[in-house]
Structure 1
Amino acid sequence: MNIEKTPWHLKLLLSTSLVFTGVAVIPLELSQTGFESTRVEAATTYKTTANLNLRLSAATWSKVLLTIPAGATIKYISKYGSWYKVSYGGKTGYVASQYVKQTTASTMTTSSTKAYTTTVNLNLRKSASTRGTILLTIPTGKRVTYVSTYGSWYKVTYGGQTGYVSSQYLKASSPSTTTSSTKAYTTTVNLNLRKSASTTGTVLLTIPSGRNVTYRGTYGSWYKVSYGGKTGYVAARYLKAGTTTTPTTSTGSGRTVVIDAGHGGNDPGAVYGSVQEKVIALDIAKRLANTLSSTYNYNVKMTRANDGYLSLAQRVSLTKSYKGSAFVSVHANSAPSTAYHGHEVLVPTTESYTTNPYASASRNLGAAINRELGVRIPTIRNRGVKYQNVYVVGKNTVPSTLVEYGFISNANDRAHLTSTTYRQRMADATASGIHQFMRSSN
């Protein structure tokens, strides 16, 4: 996006060895990908061999949560280079692995009767880590069956799959009774119903466009559904939410959200080599529109669905003609220095430039999206919510915000922006933020 940003002063702390309470603490060692070097599923018990600092993150300059006495028993969760993530004294953090020794592995207590309810759209992962493969996303307000605890993660079962979720986004509920899935979806194209959740699966029949199917479960990017007396699998992206037997407040009630893919046509936006902002923006916008429609039942309108050029005034005018309830503009950032990195959300200023009557609501919308991006994509720096004079935000007539998903000019951000996996996560996080805002503004 071609907007001058306020400089951020970046600080880098380097240390080869720091000693606290007589304990040498070693800097974090990362793999070549920048991710943790190993991951272990089950918790293991260790004992400290010296007074040992428990830190908030795996770095020598990180905040000390507490000092664990020598000889104390701690619960091992996972390994990050030369650091262990452990639990002790009701807190979870990181310790230098050279100052602990392994004892007998603990046996996890399990219970299949506990039930929890999700408080946000929550990723069910293959392992107890933010890097773990996402098996599926559990919608807000859904019940999951608790299996066991792994540090700050719960192992749970939902939709026929068992995996790990962050416990902070669950609340205790009464154990659920067995229920049949009655959610309904409508096909948006002629859609193959397959015997297995794969494009190579045998085609049982082809469901015509516009037909209702009954949802049975989620398997990655596939839905298990019933239609015409047969049950099989269809690609979820070709379904939109239809009538359910028990409507809840989790749906968008058909309200219109306008999604604006920045730049387009002869305006490529930010460019780095062969990477163009307009291409990234359109892809994220399409994914966002699909998630808002299929997961939350919003009526979604896009200012552009192809590589066409629109003026800023035309984008605002389309929002009025669409009778939108909210407007979100999708962008990627760039800077002369490759050091600048992170995502940020732009909202209306308090200056006379802003004529949007929903300036306050726009800030709430931006804050909700920023919060979800920060939680769901911690591998990109969160630069926060910023007040800026942006035309499509300040001159709009509905709650509006502009999202910069990262800097094309920065290697780490660019790797995320060019990854289809992360672009989907960006879309899902944004959709969740929009939905949270829309629910609160009913």
Structure 2
Amino acid sequence: MIIKAFEKYLYLTLLSLLFWGLLTSCDSTKKSDKRNPPPTTTSFPSPQQAVVTASSGLVLRQSPQAFFDSAYLVPYNVIVDVLAQTNEIETHQATMGKWYKVAYGQQTGYIFGGYLEVGTRLTLPKIYPVIEKIFDTDLHQVKQRALVNTNTGLVLRQQPTTSSTSITIIAPQEEVAVLAILKNTDTIEARRGSWCKVRFRQHEGYIFSGFLTFTKARIKAENGSKMRKKPSIDGQMELFIPKDRVVFLLSDEPIRQGFIGQTSGFWYKVAYQRKQGYVFSPDLEIKGY
């Protein structure tokens, strides 16, 4: 009887200790859950537009803080309306930027601006101060360049609808001059975006942004960069790209890691002046979160 009573006492004691441990754990969790207040924001007088340049998309959050639960994923290469911005610059994943309050479709929230190209409808982003000549295309009133990102030709249409009359067919990897980005968003062939008014050679018409690439990188190397046919220092040079020229990124991720001398980096597949090839990452200033 004494042994059974002792076992019962020991069992109740252990149960009490376990229950107390759970209570203290919950209390410490609540205490550690205290977070800094959200940063202050400044609203824009009127909404601006921006393009999501992060290949994986950007998380739309309820508040301009990284730890908040995501409300929605804004896809890559779509246009959002920017309503406000935070007043402080933050760094996330080695990328600097502010948080932006945006509207996308029926959703409103905050996304990190490190991979958001703001002002595409108004002015060219400051990181790309010069628009290069696009062969036979007149650059008057051009806001931005974009690259046709399809495996087959893309139809340039008279009106912003898939049922509109075709003006011409634009071949893959051709560049177009963006004149305006319409406000309404849509989904075509599982691609989310907006219709863009563009100029291609002597033609002007409409192309859906889901089939265009806006993601760019600037050549930052003082002596320019060699675009090679293979992602290797042994690859034959396709052409030379001078400093400050802008290339389009064709690969979401680096193709492979490599070395040039003692310098480590990654090879990216890019497009420049109707040609494709590979450029070493230390020569690039990549804009993107």
Larger Rg: 2
Query: Same fold per TM (> 0.5)?
Result: no
Going by fraction, where is strand more abundant, 1 or 2?
A: 2
Q: Which has the higher helix share?
A: 1
